[in-house]
Structure 1
Amino acid sequence: MRCRLRKQLFIKRNKICEVSLALGLAGLIFVIIDSEITASNGDSNFSKTHPISLLLRTLCVLCTIALMATLVHYHATEVKIALIDSGADDWRVALTTERVIKLAIELVICSICPFPGTGMMQWPYIHPDSRKATMVDVPVDVLLAVPMFLRAYLLCRFMVLHSKQFQDAATRSIAALNRISMDFRFVIKTMMADHPLRVLIVFTVSFWVCMSWMFTQCERYDGHLPAEHYYLNSLWFIMVTFMSVGYGDIVPNTYCGRTLAITTGIVGAGVSSALIAVISRKLELSRAEKHVNNFMADSKLTNQRKNAAALVLQQTWLVYSNFFINKILQIFKIKFIHKYKHSCGKGDELRLRHHQRRFLQAISEFRRIKWDQRKLQERGNLLLDVGKLHSEMHETLWEMHRTQDQFIAQVDLLTQKIVELQNTLKQQQHQQHRHMLQNPSQSYQRGMSSAESCESGLILPQSTLITGQPTVTLPMVPSLTTLPVRSTTASAVDFADIPSGSTNIPRVYPDNGYIRL
């Protein structure tokens, strides 16, 4: 019953969200139409006192009132859902301070709208040439129309409630188990992970159009340019400010326009950073592509290493052949180069230095190639180590689960054996008890014989308790400590360590006044 009621409330909440979004957009459209037909551009015959303008603003007020009612209804539905989730009965339990503050903020944002009879106001206009401020007449509807774009949060709520992640019950359950809230941040991050370019393009175009219209409303009432020029200039200014270019050919002349320019710059910086991150992630090579590039680079470095080694040998042979072969043939042993420096000509010495430089360069090149091969191998090992670590973790977890299952099976078997042992002991006790109840005389005779055996064999007696019958107290054997042994008592003997009922009890023999066991 509770699940069915909760599902019905979920469907109802989605419908309320759709209605609130439609009312918010309808009021915004009425305001845009009213602002465009009553703009002071000299070509319009409408004014703020025209019946059409009054009708449009009246419709906007009615939509705003209906929107506020739907917001209250929406939060009331959320309170009911919270009551079902918590199992409480009183609605004041789910009505938290955070929810009240959130409702108050939403009502304040959505209550802002132009209404009939607002009139005109004056605000400063800064001339771009002289930089002097003059007061111009501006309708009050401009200040009330610009904040109406804050109703865009209703679109964010609509996206959350109609997303695949929120509508799927399994996804919501998994998110709840992992302590992840299904809010707008989670939905937009998921969309950015799946379709990053599409999300950024849609947001950029929407933000560009909305901010251009608001900037036009702030800058159009000086009366110096036609209306179409204001729109084109606003589109250009918002785009260059959004991209953090700022040519300076168009500047805002009102404080409202400057505020919008600052907001555009901040949002544009964030979107540009996100775009760079998305492009960087798209340009990153996959693991297979990295393996291909590593293989090609390794083949290239191997060939270069072979060529460098061959060059080292070649230069070594040239140095050797130019200056040592003749001397070796003469003296049959190798001499150092500096010993024959004076015997060589100028050309031979220059040729020697040239081959020595080539020889050292070949050695350096060979070492550099070896170092590049080592770095490439480490980079390839890093890719392999990640996959190897993943496989080892998977094998370790599988082995842990298998060991845990075996341990649980052994514990279950041990528990079963303990239960069987307990049942066996209970059956034996029950049989002994029933036998004692049926033959009480034999139990008494057995107790007397035990007492006699205690007297003869020094067996410690035990009292027998017969359930359901009077308690039979057997005569106790006198303690050995009271028996005289050559005028000496066996006080040094401690029978506390002898278990009761034991038949292997050593006898006590007197030996020269001492107790010998």
Structure 2
Amino acid sequence: MLSDSTAKMRCRMRKQLFIKRNKVCDLSLALALAGLIFVVVDAELTALSTDTNITKRHPISLLLRSLCLISTIALMASLVNYHAIEVKIALIDSGADDWRVALTTERLIKLAIELLICAICPLPGTGMMSWPFIHPENRKVTMVDVPVDVILSVPMFLRSYLLCRFMVLHSKQFQDAATRSIAALNRISMDFRFVIKTMMADHPLRVLIVFTVSYWICMSWMFTQCERYDGRVPAEHYYLNSMWFIMVTFMSIGYGDIVPNTYCGRTLSITTGIVGAGVSSALIAVISRKLELSRAEKHVNNFMADSKLTNQRKNAAASVLQETWFIHKYKMSCTKGDDLRLRQHQRRFLHAINEFRRIKWDQRKLQEKGNSLLDVGKLHNEMHETLWEMHRTQDQFIAQVDLLTQKIVELQNTLLMQQQRGYLPAPNAACLPLTQSTSSSALLHIPVPHGSTVAQFDSSNLPPCP
């Protein structure tokens, strides 16, 4: 059993580790973005070498790639520090003393994958490589020279998973201790899935718009890196074409005016199509939910429809009575030409009856639709009223029992006082009065049928007390 001082010390250490973990996560994200910015600037400067005169062997390019390498090494160290803090938090939660208890195989695999993803970066002094290029005219495959930095810079966007971790650790749900406790009691993990679901529930359109625009920009740059080294079009013209191709592929349109000519571009286009299908389905679900009527709006529409059907039913009933009176009138009349009017009013009578039946059927369907809206609320109200009535009856019963017990105690005290004054003889053990410790079950009234021997047994048949 832990003492109060030990528990307080562990809570304090856990809080400090939480704050330190957030700072390490912020540092990791900053280092990842810094390395990515260095790579993007270096790739753009060297791709526009005809205007900037900066090649891969230029000191500026070597400096940028060296800074990217340094930031990558610092990023890997911060990742190791982050998982070390996770192990310390797990030790405090489990109460173990050895760090190897919290260092599970799953955590080691996760650390290895993160280090492998973040270790990818362009190195200073990398040269050129050849990869296949498919000509769109004759579909002939030729080999073109591409910098090795292209192969190493495109996978660097996988570092964006650190942004997901940043969103989780800085979310309102994760920072609130009460929310974390409730989630733990309900066996809900406070991970990125829960956070993104909460954001989609609160601000769905904002989340989808930000994700879509960010995805378009990143994929357009990567697609440009894969496609612009064929030497046919100036490098700066590829950005607009890449943005157009990514947007069209994202929306699953595909006009065919721009096609990927490398296997890298084809891989990115397939990925864009898959992600676009998911985002499009989510957007359709959000729009359909926004267009759906609320409960209050449905109640208003049902009330208006019910009022309209009620008026129509009254008019149909009046038409039935009116046509009935006309039929009776022309049946009793002997004027020439009344037979034609009689048939006409009989047809109107049948039409009024059918219209009355149709309106009744529409009212029945509207009532069933309204009952489906009110079932849950009505059931909740009925349950609340029933429970309230039960509590009220129980309180009344307890009050009556307490009052009866009080009266019996008063009667007992009165008998004891009379006995002490000499008015009554001292009772023996068989004639002791009820004490205050008498249970309430002994005070319950038991109904006895008339005519039984128990009903005829009264106080006159009791044996005298000595």
- What band does the TM-score fall into relative to the shorter chain? 0.7 to 0.9
**Residue 243 of structure 2 is aligned to residue 238 of structure 1:** no
1:348–1:45 Cα change, 3 Å: farther
CA distance in 1, matches of 2:346, 2:96: 92
| TM-fit CA distance, 1:222 | 1.4
Instruction: Kindly indicate whether residue 112 of structure 2 is the aligned counterpart of residue 104 of structure 1.
Output: yes
| Partners of 1:185 and 1:81 in 2: CA distance | 22
When normalised by structure 2's length, the TM-score is: 0.77
284, 296, 299: which is aligned to 1:291?
299
Instruction: Please give the alpha-carbon distance, in whole angstroms, between the structure 1 residues aligned to 2:220 and 2:145.
Output: 21
CA contact (8 A) 1:127 1:133 kept: yes
Shift in Å, 1:128 = 2.2
Paired residue for 1:181? Answer: 189
Distance change in 2, residues 1:353/1:269 (3 Å): farther
Greater RCO, 1 or 2 (C-alpha within 8 Å, sep 6+): 2
Query: d(CA) in 2 for partners of 1:8 and 1:212?
Result: 42
Q: 2:80 aligned with 1:90, yes or no?
A: no
Is 1:325–2:332 an aligned residue pair?
A: yes
2:225 is aligned, of 217, 231, 235, to: 217
1:124 equivalenced with 2:114 (yes/no): no
Give the secondary-structure state (helix, strand or coil) at the position aligned to 2:233. coil
- The answer (yes or no) to whether the contact 1:41–1:223 under 8 Å persists in 2 is no
| Alignment-derived partner of residue 379 in structure 2 | 389
Question: Which deviations, in whole Å up to 9, do the C-alpha atoms of 1:314-362 show, x marking residues without a partner?
Answer: 455555655x334xx59xxxxxxxxxxxxx99x966x777655544443
Call closer, same or farther: CA 1:162–1:399 in 2, change over 3 Å.
farther
1:134-171 CA-to-partner distances (Å, cap 9, x unmatched) read: 22111111111111001000011011111111111111
Counterpart in the other structure of 1:250? 258
Letter in 2 for 1:215: F
* Preserved CA contact (<8 Å) 1:238 1:261: yes
Contact 1:40–1:221 (8 Å) recurs in 2: no
Q: What's the counterpart of residue 380 of structure 1?
A: 370
Q: What is the deviation of 1:19?
A: 0.6
Q: Which residue pairs with 1:49 in the alignment?
A: 57
Q: d(CA) in 2 for partners of 1:402 and 1:319?
A: 62
Paired position in structure 2 for 1:364? 354
Partner of 1:481: none
CA contact (8 A) 1:123 1:136 kept: yes
Distance 2:390 2:270 in 1: 57
Maintained 8 Å contact 1:40/1:223: no
Residues 355, 399 of structure 1: CA spacing in aligned structure 2 closer, same or farther, 3 A cutoff? closer
SS at match of 1:19: helix
Q: After TM superposition, list the pairs within 5 Å mapping 1:249-328 onto structure 2.
A: 249-316=257-324, 324-326=331-333
* SS in structure 1 at match of 2:122: coil
Distance 1:120 1:229 in 2: 23
Q: CA deviation at 1:393?
A: 4.4
3-state DSSP of counterpart to 2:142: strand
Are the equivalent residues in 1 in contact too, given 2:49–2:55 (CA < 8 A)? no
For residues 204 and 17 of structure 1, the distance between their equivalents in structure 2, rounded to whole angstroms, comes to 25
- State the match for 1:198 in structure 2: 206
Question: How far has the Cα of 1:8 moved from its partner?
Answer: 1.0
CA distance in 1, matches of 2:141, 2:289: 49
Q: Which amino acid aligns with 2:61?
A: S
Q: What amino acid is aligned across from residue 257 of structure 2 in structure 1?
A: D
- Are positions 1:15 and 2:23 aligned together? yes
Gap change, CA 1:273 and 1:402, over 3 Å in 2:
farther
Structure 1: gaps (5+ residues): 331-343, 407-517
2:131, 2:145 within 8 Å by CA — same for their partners in 1?
yes
| Counterpart selection for 2:87 from 67, 76, 79 | 79
Report 1:339-488 matches (<5 A): 357-394=347-384
| Matched-pair contact (CA < 8 Å) for 1:41–1:226 | no
Please give the alpha-carbon distance, in whole angstroms, between the structure 2 residues aligned to 1:185 and 1:404: 47
Question: Quick one: structure 1 residues 45 and 297, their matched pair in 2 at CA, closer, same or farther if it must change by over 3 Å?
Answer: same
What is the Cα deviation at residue 129 of structure 1? 2.6
Distance 1:395 1:311, change over 3 A: closer
Question: What is the CA-CA distance between 1:381 and the residue it aligns to?
Answer: 2.0
User: Helix, strand or coil: the match of 1:108?
Assistant: helix
Contact 1:41–1:227 at 8 Å: present in 2 too? no
- How many residue pairs match? The answer is 388
- Name the TM-score, length of structure 1 as normaliser: 0.70
Which residue of structure 2 lines up, in the alignment, with residue 138 of structure 1? Answer: 146
1:252 shift after superposition: 1.5
The answer to whether residue 216 in structure 2 is matched with residue 208 in structure 1 is yes
Matched position secondary structure for 1:43: helix
Change (3 A) 1:257 1:312: farther
| Alpha-carbon offset, residue 399 of structure 1 | 8.1
CA distance in 2, matches of 1:51, 1:393: 79
Q: 1:360 to 1:18 in 2, by over 3 A?
A: same
The Cα of 1:176 is off from its aligned counterpart by: 1.0
Once residues 294 and 107 of structure 2 are traced to their aligned partners in structure 1, the CA distance between those partners, rounded to angstroms, is: 46
Distance 1:402 1:310, change over 3 A: closer
Distance 1:266 1:394, change over 3 A: farther
Q: 1:403 to 1:96 in 2, by over 3 A?
A: farther
5+ residue gaps in structure 2? 1-8, 397-466
> For the Cα contact (< 8 Å) 1:125–1:222, is it kept in 2?
yes
**194-203 vs 73-82, which moves further:** 194-203
Q: Which stretches of structure 1, 4 residues or more, deviate above 6 A after TM superposition?
A: 396-406
Cα distance change, pair 43–380 in 1 and its aligned pair in 2 (3 A): same
Q: Which moved more, 1:173-182 or 1:219-228?
A: 219-228
Query: What's 1:458 paired with?
Result: none
Q: Which residue of 2 aligns with 1:160?
A: 168
User: Per-residue CA shift, 1:470-491, capped at 9, x if unaligned?
Assistant: xxxxxxxxxxxxxxxxxxxxxx
Work out whether residues 83 and 91 of structure 1, in 8 Å CA contact, stay in contact via their aligned partners in 2: yes
Counterpart AA for 2:245 = F
**What's the counterpart of residue 406 of structure 2?**
none
Percent identity, aligned pairs only, is 84
